[in-house]
Amino acid sequence: MAVVVDEAVSAQAIVDALDAVKLPYVERIEPFDLYRGARLPSGKKSLAILVLMQDTERTLTDADIDSAMSILLGALRDRFGATLRD
């Protein structure tokens, strides 16, 4: 997932907010890329985040993954005003 947030929002704050959601099959959340540039509004940056999901008892469906990503994005939207990067 790549989200656009204010420049002042730290990667750790984003990871902490996602960890706080406590989805049962999210195994790891880790930032892996930071983008700043002309394609973003002034004062914004894009942070790409690895969200590793795994359930050891069943195969996750597309609906499971889509729902989890929606919940995680909602948490970032509510806390930081984050949007998905186009």
Task: Give the pTM.
Answer: 0.91
Burial class (CB in 10 A: 0-12, 13-18, 19+), 82: buried
Write out the residue range of the structural domain in which residue 31 sits.
2-84
Query: What is the domain-level CATH number for residue 36?
Result: 3.30.70.380
Terminal C-alpha separation, the chain: 11
Per-residue confidence in pLDDT tens, the chain, 86 aa: 999 999 999 999 999 999 999 999 999 999 999 999 989 999 999 999 999 999 999 999 999 999 999 999 999 999 999 999 98
